[in-house]
Structure 1
Amino acid sequence: MNIVLIGYRGTGKSAAGHLVAARLGMPCIGLDAEIVKKAGMSIPEIVELKGWTAFRDIESERVREFAGRDNVVIDAGGGIIERPENTEALQGSSRIFWLKASVETIVARIEGDTERPSLTAGKTFTEEVTEVLERRTPLYKAAAQHAIDTDGLTPEQVADRIVALWRKG
């Protein structure tokens, strides 16, 4: 059984994922890093040269690959839930934890991030986060067995909550 962390960028998936993996003696797989490795280029380069559909195709391929493993922590990209087949693949072999945060917290945490191209043209960063979160929230909620609000929590506190829920079974 795997642990999968889903949620928007800036909710703490990567930081908490590494801590959870260390505490449970499991490897941590960052899907975005695996996509970059597979494509041989950064995510902005993939999107610029090949488009979002090509990026999502590589993402789905990596999801299928890593969902087939056992006893790993998977730090999933924020848009993983955009394709139902990704959620289905992960639900079959994993407990899914949705890390969520307010728009204000997300913006404060990732405003300077240049690793992801814009998802909505012509919008401010805050407008983009708000719009994408509105669309994705029902998908995150439907995919996850557990939801953890990371506003005001340290990565260590988030990891503590994940590990406690994991151990409860």
Structure 2
Amino acid sequence: MRLRNIALIGFRATGKSTVGEILARKLARQFVDMDQRLTSEAGRDIATWVKQDGWDSFRRSESALLGILIEQNGLVVATGGGIVLDPQNRRVLRKHFLTVWLKATPQTIYARLSSDPGSLETRPSLSELPIKEEILKVLSERRPLYAQVAIIEIDTEGKQSIQIADEIVTLLSEGCL
């Protein structure tokens, strides 16, 4: 029996990687963190990649990896926050994945990024704006794209990662996904 892949989408710092790891363990599935896989294969972090070759290069590699992942089954995949920018990626996510949008307010995203000392260095700027303004701008641009792809939306406000994973497991067991 083919197990449909689960993709976690959402803005940076919404918990995709942490929740994805927990969810994969709970479901006895393989976990793939796309950003981690891409940087491991490239031998450089995203900030260096973007500085050297630009966002387009990173996004092309991200799309290629998504194409490889659809050939596998039973995965829990933490996508990069910008995966939805490419219309083809949105089509692939809708067709081949149970897609869960992890949501957080701009204030929460800022607080999470600020509380992680290395986060702002390893996550390259998405604009030339100060971080608070960048979050507001980019999130407002991406929200409609996340909504196009999401089968379900989960508010992560005030929840621990394990609670979010449990919520997804419950929805799966109830046939909501």
Letter of the 1:168 counterpart: E
1:102 Cα deviation after fit: 0.3
Residue ranges of structure 2 left out of the alignment (5+ in a row): none
In structure 2, the residue matched to 1:46 is 49
Which runs of structure 2 are paired with 1:1-169 in the superposition (5 Å)? 1-111=4-114, 112=117, 113=119, 114-121=121-128, 123-169=129-175
- 1:30·1:75 contact (CA, 8 Å) conserved in 2? yes
Per mean C-alpha deviation after superposition, the further-off stretch among 17-26 and 60-69 is 60-69
Determine if contact 1:6/1:97 at 8 Å carries over to the other structure: yes
The question of whether the paired residues in 2 share the 8 Å contact of 1:70 and 1:93 is answered with no
- For 1:108 and 1:87, how far apart are their aligned partners in 2? 28
Instruction: After superposition, give the CA deviation of every residue in 1:107-142 in whole Å (9 maximum; x if it has no partner).
Output: 000124121111111x21110000000000000011
Residues 86-95 or 150-159, more deviating: 86-95
The TM-score normalised by the length of structure 1 is 0.96
What runs of 5+ residues in structure 1 fail to find an aligned partner? none
- Aligned equivalents of 1:39, 1:86: Cα separation in 2: 21
The one-character-per-residue Cα deviations of 1:46-87 (angstroms, maximum 9, x if unpaired) are 101100100101110111111221000000010000001112
| 1:2 Cα deviation from its structure 2 partner | 0.7
RMSD: 0.9
Give the partner amino acid of 2:144.
P
Query: What TM-score do the two structures reach when normalised by structure 2?
Result: 0.92
1:51 aligned counterpart, secondary structure: helix
Shift of 1:165: 1.3
Percent identity over the alignment is 38
Task: Find the aligned partners of 2:37 and 2:89 in 1 and give their Cα distance.
Answer: 15
Asked whether the equivalents of residues 68 and 93 of structure 1 are also in contact (C-alpha less than 8 Å), the reply is: no
CA offsets 1:1-51 (integer angstroms, 9 cap, x no match): 011000001111111111110000001100001111222211111101100
* Counterparts of 2:26 and 2:156, CA distance in 1: 19
**Separation in structure 2 between the aligned mates of residue 85 and residue 168 of structure 1, nearest angstrom:** 30
How many positions carry a matched residue from both structures?
Answer: 168
- 1:83-106 per-residue CA deviation (whole Å, 9 max, x = no partner) reads 011121222221000000000100
- SS at 2:122 equivalent: coil
SS at match of 1:140: helix
